[in-house]
Amino acid sequence: MSLPPARRRAAAAALTTALMLPLAACGSDGSGAEKEAGGGSGAASGARKADLTVLAASSLTDVFTEAGAVYEKENPGTEVTFSFAGSQELAAQVKQGAPADALVTADTRTMEGLSGDTGEPTVIARNRLVIVTGEGNPEKVERLDDLADPKLKVVLAAPEVPVGRYSRQILDARKIDVKPVSQEPNVRAVLSKVSLGEADAGLVYRTDAATAAGKVDAIEIPDAQNAIASYPAATLKTSQHGEAAAAFVAWLSTPAAQKILRGAGFQQP
């Protein structure tokens, strides 16, 4: 039985609408969590916008706070929130399924241990260690060997923390026996102990010592006796904003981001 013309047109319109609905759904996730970027620069241009959570090593606290503000300015609509902690703590958070989008550690070893949870990592910066003492260096510490003085209160990071492992590496290489008064969970805790006068000396990254200028003195360690810390960055496979996370990680290697890292004392990758 044929339908009247008006009913045929209505049926055709209904069919067209039904066919177009799946296509519209493909163009949006319907959550409103991410929007198509309308600007931005460098690697982030054209990427999806999102509220990103980045897990980052404690030694990146100051420089990433600055870098995040620059990234948000270059990519309106994107917000970056950082969670700073020792790399070993960050690894535990990833293993426990903490909601985050990207990870930056202070060593490749920790990142390699999370290879099943991350995308391909990229080293974005390097760092070196220095000895820090109280302002004015009241105990007259001049070199690594001085840290073995039993009258000296030395604080180190715990051996499972990258900076703690680097510290033990350079001390063991010279057979320097140091008995720390405490072993801290991250590099900023070591720096705090020394700057507050709770310890006479400690080993931290050069960039961390620079953030406490006027509170501590930094004694350089010769390159031949030092260790190089590498900072890899990677997206997390559990990220709900994979495209935006990848854009941020890629941006960390751009000239704009590298300029900020160099300005804070980090070395080129």
Measure the CA dihedral 235/241/242/244, to 10°. Answer: -80
Question: What percent of the chain is modeled with pLDDT above 90?
Answer: 81
User: Residue 49 has what pLDDT?
Assistant: 78
User: Residue 47 has what pLDDT?
Assistant: 53
Angle at 260 between CA 192 and CA 38, to 5 degrees: 125
Angle, helices 255-263/61-74, rounded to nearest 10 degrees: 150
Side chain identity, residue 151: K
Residue with the larger pLDDT of the pair 149 and 47 = 149
**pTM of the shown model:** 0.82
Q: Is the pLDDT of residue 65 over 50?
A: yes
- Contact partners, residue 113, CB within 8 Å, separation at least 6: 91
Most confident range, picked from 13-17, 38-42, 255-259: 255-259
Strands 201-205 and 154-157, by their bridges, are: parallel
Q: Is the pLDDT of residue 59 over 60?
A: yes
Q: Per CATH, which fold does 127-228 belong to?
A: D-Maltodextrin-Binding Protein; domain 2 (3.40.190)
Average pLDDT over residues 117-143: 98
Q: Is the pLDDT of residue 42 over 90?
A: no
Average pLDDT over residues 148-172: 97
What are 231's two structure tokens? Answer: 């900072």
Q: Is the pLDDT of residue 71 over 70?
A: yes
> Contact at 8 Å (CB) between 183 and 164?
yes
**How many CB atoms neighbour CB 46 within 10 A?**
12
pLDDT digits (tens, 9 = 90+) for 203-239: 999 999 999 999 999 999 999 999 999 999 999 999 9
Average pLDDT over residues 180-201: 97
Q: Is the pLDDT of residue 109 over 50?
A: yes
Average pLDDT, the chain: 87
**How is 197-254 classified by DSSP, letter by letter?**
TS-SEEEEEHHHHHHTBTTEEEEE--GGG--EEEEEEEEBTT-S-HHHHHHHHHHTTS
Average pLDDT over residues 258-264: 98
Q: Comparing 41-126+230-263 with 127-228, is the CATH topology the same?
A: yes
Helix (H) or strand (E) holding 84, with range, is: strand 79-85
Residue with the larger pLDDT of the pair 41 and 136 = 136
User: Residue 34 has what pLDDT?
Assistant: 39
Which one is the CATH code of 41-126+230-263: 3.40.50.280, 3.40.190.10, 3.10.270.10, 3.40.50.1010?
3.40.190.10
| Domain map (residue ranges) of the chain | 41-126+230-263, 127-228
User: Residue 172 has what pLDDT?
Assistant: 98
Q: Is the pLDDT of residue 32 over 60?
A: no
User: Residue 48 has what pLDDT?
Assistant: 62
User: Residue 167 has what pLDDT?
Assistant: 98
Confidence of residue 194 (pLDDT cuts 50, 70, 90): very high
